[in-house]
């Protein structure tokens, strides 16, 4: 039974397929504007706004008795793209009577196709014969339709930054997007502020080139010139104008930094800061965020910073170019006093001890530890401000701690002795011996008087046995707050004097130098 059923279905579908193949529709003898094209070829409009397509429609049925119905129609369709709904352009009634008792009907027709109704690619033109037989509708082959794109032009760039640079020039180019053929010229309108070939272009007038580009340079680079506009002309027809806008480029020299120490000694006369690798044409105006901590004087592109009191301030260099643009560069600076050697200590393991230099006064001090001596077993190691030693009681160890900042150095020696594991260590600074570092002169070595003065200032060595006298050549130099040296003397024997007559009233810095080791004192001239 199953075999008989399968045979019946096979015969049935074969019959249906034969019926479906019986009625054939076609579109033949196609010509475009009277120029024949091959069957099922492409209909190319090119640059034509419209074309006339002539063609023959043909319907063939297997026998004269085949019934196509009384309402059978042959319709012509245009489909703009793959996602569009087909548009019926025309249609004709081709029913049973149209065959006049025969098996073939055909007719010659023409259809106008507009370029505006199709796309550059992807449009189709075809026919469908709708009838009452089983394979309705019967379709013709598909004719693809194309057209050349409309002339399209673009200007490059569409926006142009104008740099604050006398050497910069700018090229503006017109692109023929679809390579539209024909004779091309370009009329340019560049407004005001541009020069071409070294000659200023008159504002409000245009000029024409056959080249698709121009090379312009600002007449005055400190002023932003007008936007650039161009009208392409194709075969004598002006195309839509294109415009390139202009604007000043940004100014942000972020790679520039202020060079100089983050800390200044309060006793210093002044400190110089600058911005290395400053570009040509840039200037700097310096300022202090807190004049009660430090004042700033401009000296070209350098800042002369004069400390006033201990504290912190921000040094700002306002960098400006010749186009009136500015950019602020900052540096945080502290005015510090003389360093003080302090430390903390702790036992971190059974036999391991840490000692760490501690900057209690935020004076930008750095610390170094040195081993001096020990008894018992002591294994000492230091790195930066950290001293680590392993020791087994009983032991003793003596270490040297040096604190250094912009004002000089401070040294303490500390000893630690442990007889048993139960004993505590020194946890905070408690120096056994404190000395002044060999690289500085204690400010108490000299007596400065009278102060204030408007005539003579005496400099006297307080202690004639001081190390400042041993194999020393001592110089005293007087500076104003801008860092300019006003006086210099050599100190002999127990002292000397310096003449301050003729100097303007104000605060001055007296620096006393002993073979490169220096102290500073403030002098008031009244």
Domains of the chain: 24-147 (2.60.40.3880), 153-248 (2.60.40.10), 263-336 (2.60.40.1080), 343-425 (2.60.40), 446-525 (2.60.40.1930)
Averaged pLDDT, 148-155: 92
- CA dist 148 and 177 (Å) reads 12
In the prediction, which pLDDT does 353 show?
A: 93
Pairing mode, if any, of strands 104-114 and 143-146?
A: unpaired
- Shortest CA distance to 20 belongs to which of 138, 142, 126? 138
SS3 8: helix
Note the pTM of the prediction, 2 decimals. Answer: 0.56
- Residue 490 neighbours by CB distance under 10 Å: 9
In the prediction, which pLDDT does 17 show?
A: 39
Tokens, residue 477 = 């130099």
- pLDDT exceeds cutoff 80 at 189: yes
- CA dist 361 and 344 (Å) reads 14
- CA dist 17 and 25 (Å) reads 16
Averaged pLDDT, 476-495: 79
In tens, the pLDDT along 246-264 reads 999 999 988 899 999 999 9
In the prediction, which pLDDT does 515 show?
A: 64
- pLDDT exceeds cutoff 90 at 242: yes
In the prediction, which pLDDT does 269 show?
A: 84
Task: Judge whether 221 and 168 are in contact, CB under 8 Å.
Answer: yes
- pLDDT exceeds cutoff 80 at 444: no
- Shortest CA distance to 60 belongs to which of 98, 111, 108? 98
- CA dist 411 and 25 (Å) reads 111
Q: CA 402 from chain center: how many Å?
A: 44
Work out the pLDDT band at 443, boundaries 50, 70, 90.
very low
- pLDDT exceeds cutoff 60 at 20: no
Work out the pLDDT band at 370, boundaries 50, 70, 90.
very high
Averaged pLDDT, 287-315: 93
Among 6-15, 262-271, 403-412, 504-513, which stretch is predicted with the lowest mean pLDDT? 6-15
Which helix (DSSP H) or strand (DSSP E) does residue 12 occupy?
helix 2-20
- pLDDT exceeds cutoff 70 at 316: yes
**Radius of gyration of the chain from Cα atoms?**
49
In the prediction, which pLDDT does 473 show?
A: 72
SS3 444: helix
Among 39-43, 104-108, 334-338, 505-509, which stretch is predicted with the lowest mean pLDDT? 505-509
Averaged pLDDT, 372-378: 93
Q: If phi over 0 gives left and psi between -120 and 50 gives alpha, with beta otherwise, what is residue 300?
A: left
Sign of CA dihedral 64, 66, 68, 73: negative
Task: Judge whether 288 and 258 are in contact, CB under 8 Å.
Answer: no
Pairing mode, if any, of strands 474-479 and 506-514?
A: antiparallel
Tokens, residue 178 = 């679809």
Q: Mention every residue, 6+ apart, whose C-beta is less than 8 A from residue 318.
A: 284, 285, 286, 287, 326, 327, 328
In the prediction, which pLDDT does 516 show?
A: 61
* High-pLDDT (> 90) share of the chain, %: 60
Higher pLDDT, 220 or 474: 220
Segments of 15-94 assigned E as strands: 24-32, 35-36, 43-44, 50-60, 73-79, 87-93
In tens, the pLDDT along 387-401 reads 999 999 999 999 999
In the prediction, which pLDDT does 14 show?
A: 36
In the prediction, which pLDDT does 465 show?
A: 53
- Shortest CA distance to 252 belongs to which of 317, 326, 314? 326
Averaged pLDDT, 465-486: 68
Backbone φ, ψ for residue 407 (5° rounding): -90, -10
In the prediction, which pLDDT does 482 show?
A: 66
Q: Is the peptide bond prior to 504 cis by the omega test (within 30 degrees of 0)?
A: no
- Shortest CA distance to 280 belongs to which of 364, 198, 164? 164
Tokens, residue 260 = 């100089």
- pLDDT exceeds cutoff 70 at 4: no
* High-pLDDT (> 70) share of the chain, %: 89
- pLDDT exceeds cutoff 80 at 429: no
């Amino acid at each position: 039974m199953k075999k008989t059923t399968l045979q019946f279905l096979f015969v049935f579908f074969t019959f249906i397929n034969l019926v479906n193949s019986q009625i054939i529709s076609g579109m033949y003898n196609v010509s475009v504007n009277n120029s024949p094209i091959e069957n099922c070829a492409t209909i190319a409009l090119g640059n034509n706004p419209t074309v006339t397509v002539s063609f023959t429609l043909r319907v063939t049925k297997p026998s004269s008795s085949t019934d196509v119905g009384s309402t059978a129609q042959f319709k012509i369709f245009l489909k703009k793209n793959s996602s569009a709904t087909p548009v019926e352009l025309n249609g004709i009634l081709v029913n049973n009577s149209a065959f006049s008792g025969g098996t073939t009907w055909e007719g010659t027709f023409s259809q106008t196709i507009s370029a505006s109704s199709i796309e550059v690619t992807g449009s189709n033109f075809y026919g469908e014969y709708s009838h009452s037989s089983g394979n309705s509708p019967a379709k013709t082959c598909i004719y693809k339709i194309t057209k050349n794109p409309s002339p399209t032009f673009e200007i490059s760039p569409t926006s142009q930054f104008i740099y604050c640079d006398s050497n910069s020039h700018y090229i503006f180019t017109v692109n023929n997007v679809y390579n539209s053929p024909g004779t091309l010229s370009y009329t340019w309108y560049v407004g005001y502020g541009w020069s071409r070939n070294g000659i200023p272009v008159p504002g409000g007038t245009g000029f024409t080139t056959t080249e698709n580009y121009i090379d312009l340079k600002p007449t005055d680079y400190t002023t932003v010139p007008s936007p650039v506009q161009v009208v392409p002309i194709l075969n004598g027809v002006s195309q839509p104008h294109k415009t390139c806008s202009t604007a000043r480029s940004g100014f942000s020299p972020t790679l520039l930094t202020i060079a100089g120490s983050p800390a200044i000694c309060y006793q210093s006369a002044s400190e110089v800061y600058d911005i290395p690798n400053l570009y040509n044409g840039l200037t700097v105006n310096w300022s202090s965020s807190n004049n009660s901590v430090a004042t700033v004087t401009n000296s070209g592109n350098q800042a002369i910073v004069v400390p006033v009191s201990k504290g912190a301030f921000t040094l700002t260099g306002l960098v400006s170019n010749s186009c009136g643009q500015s950019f602020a560069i900052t540096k945080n600076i502290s005015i510090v006093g003389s360093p003080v050697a302090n430390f903390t200590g702790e036992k971190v393991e059974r036999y391991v001890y840490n000692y760490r230099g501690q900057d209690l006064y935020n004076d930008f001090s750095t610390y170094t530890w040195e081993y001096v001596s020990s008894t018992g077993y002591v294994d000492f190691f230091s790195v930066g401000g950290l001293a680590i030693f392993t020791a087994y009681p009983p032991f003793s160890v003596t270490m040297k701690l040096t604190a250094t900042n912009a004002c000089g150095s401070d040294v303490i020696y500390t000893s630690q002795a442990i007889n048993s594991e139960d004993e505590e260590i020194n946890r905070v600074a408690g120096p056994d011996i404190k000395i002044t570092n060999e690289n500085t002169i204690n400010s108490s070595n000299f007596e400065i008087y009278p102060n204030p003065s408007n005539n003579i200032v005496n400099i006297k060595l307080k202690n004639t046995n001081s190390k400042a006298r041993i194999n020393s050549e001592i110089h005293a130099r007087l500076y104003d707050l801008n860092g300019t040296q006003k006086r210099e003397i050599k100190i002999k024997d127990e002292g000397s004097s310096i003449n301050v007559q003729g100097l303007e009233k104000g605060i001055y810095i007296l620096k006393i130098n002993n073979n490169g080791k220096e102290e500073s004192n403030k002098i008031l001239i009244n």
